[in-house]
């Protein structure tokens, strides 16, 4: 029997101790900011990509190469579902996680979603530093990110909070999140 998902929490809603889930494009700083935010809040930090790699016993690049993106996204959905267990923590998600309808509905109803929003130029500069992102292999990062932003930003905009992840130290973004949380 199909059940409709719980009603999403109101946009801009205050944090009441549920998991905090960081969403946004690759390079927005979800993992780095997430670790620092968790430390400041005295909460555990979990990187969904690391959890996916651990569960699969292989890297995300290898999962994409061997099984494709659809297989990866299904595993990602299951891992995020396991991580959102009602206990307070900070969770960094992969850039495409929030695009999945089921994953997004779960995050919006059971967690506080925070969109780390950054200009494509800033993201492209950040992601050029590492060659581990399957969606960027052999392609121009700025062009890929522009295309992804066109599709994903309207979905990220559904997050409860939006925080700028500017070309500044990560601590600036952490402080902005803490301020938005009233901390």
Does residue 157 belong to any structural domain of this protein?
yes
SS3 helix, strand, coil % of the chain, rounded to 5? 50, 10, 35
CA distance 146 to 25: 10
- Which of 3, 5, 22 lies closest to 111, judged by CA? 22
Domain residues for the domain of 163 are 20-180
Segment 80-105, tens digit of pLDDT: 999 999 999 999 999 999 999 999 99
Ligand-binding annotation for 40, yes or no, is no
Ligand-binding annotation for 36, yes or no, is no
CB 145 within 8 A of CB 27: yes
Does residue 161 belong to any structural domain of this protein?
yes
- CATH number of domain containing 115: 3.40.50.300
- Give this prediction's pTM: 0.87
Point out the least confidently predicted range of 88-92, 173-177, 179-183: 179-183
Ligand-binding annotation for 146, yes or no, is no
Does residue 1 belong to any structural domain of this protein?
no
Ligand-binding annotation for 133, yes or no, is yes
Ligand-binding annotation for 9, yes or no, is no
For the chain, the domain total comes to: 1
Model confidence at 6: pLDDT above 50: no
Ligand-binding annotation for 42, yes or no, is no
Does residue 7 belong to any structural domain of this protein?
no
Ligand-binding annotation for 86, yes or no, is no
Does residue 4 belong to any structural domain of this protein?
no
Ligand-binding annotation for 17, yes or no, is no
Segment 40-63, tens digit of pLDDT: 999 999 999 999 999 999 998 899
Residue 113 is predicted with a pLDDT of: 97
Does residue 2 belong to any structural domain of this protein?
no
């Amino acid at each position: 029997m199909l059940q409709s998902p719980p009603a999403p929490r109101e946009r801009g809603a205050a944090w009441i101790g549920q998991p905090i889930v960081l969403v946004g494009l690759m390079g927005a700083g979800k993992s780095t900011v997430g670790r620092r935010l968790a430390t400041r809040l005295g909460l555990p930090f979990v990187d969904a990509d690391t959890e996916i790699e651990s569960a699969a016993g292989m890297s995300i690049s290898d999962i994409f190469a061997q099984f494709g993106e659809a297989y990866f996204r299904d595993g990602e959905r299951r891992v995020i579902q396991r991580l959102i267990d009602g206990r307070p923590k900070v969770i960094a998600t992969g850039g495409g996680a929030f695009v999945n309808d089921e994953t997004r509905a779960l995050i919006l109803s059971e967690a506080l979603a925070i969109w780390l929003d950054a200009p494509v130029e800033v993201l492209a500069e950040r992601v050029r530093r590492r060659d581990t992102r399957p969606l960027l292999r052999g392609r121009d990062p700025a062009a890929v990110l522009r295309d992804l932003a066109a599709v994903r930003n309207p979905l990220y905009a559904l997050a409860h909070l939006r925080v700028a992840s500017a070309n500044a130290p990560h601590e600036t973004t952490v402080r902005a999140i803490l301020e938005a949380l009233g901390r």
